[in-house]
Amino acid sequence: MECNRCGIWHSGVFGLALNVTRWMVLQLEERITKVNQRIISGENEHFKSQQHGTHRSWTLIYPRARESVNHPFFDTLEQVDIGRLLHFVNQQCQFMDAFEP
């Protein structure tokens, strides 16, 4: 197959790779066009599109947190500093012996 751009005959694996690459580029361009159309039309609810004169921009909409970070159960527990916790755990299972001084 002769390349339209360079006029060189491409055959074998190189020709196949060239065709696959062209096909992938066309697929990607088609996908990008569809995504942009969905953003502009408002069909994609995760983006907010704005028109500023002749310039159009869009931003990603971040969902609000539905629940608090911690479960209320943890609010009932006493807070302990990490040093006391490590000391207690080491007394139970001597995990600190695995570390070199």
Helices then strands, each counted (H, E), the chain: 3, 2
pLDDT of residue 5: 62
Alpha-carbon distance of 10 to 18, in angstroms, equals 8
pLDDT averaged per 10 residues in sequence order, the chain, 101 residues: 58 75 92 90 87 87 73 86 93 91 75
Report the alpha-carbon distance of residue 89 to residue 101 in Å, rounded.
18
- CA-CA distance, 38 to 31, in Å (whole number)? 11
Pure H helices in the chain: 12-41, 72-75, 82-93
What residues does each domain of the chain span?
12-63
Closest CA to 61 of 84, 80, 44: 44
Put simply, whether the predicted model's pTM sits higher than 0.85 gets the answer no
Q: What is the pLDDT of residue 8?
A: 56
Residues 6+ apart with CB under 8 A from 48: 58, 59, 61
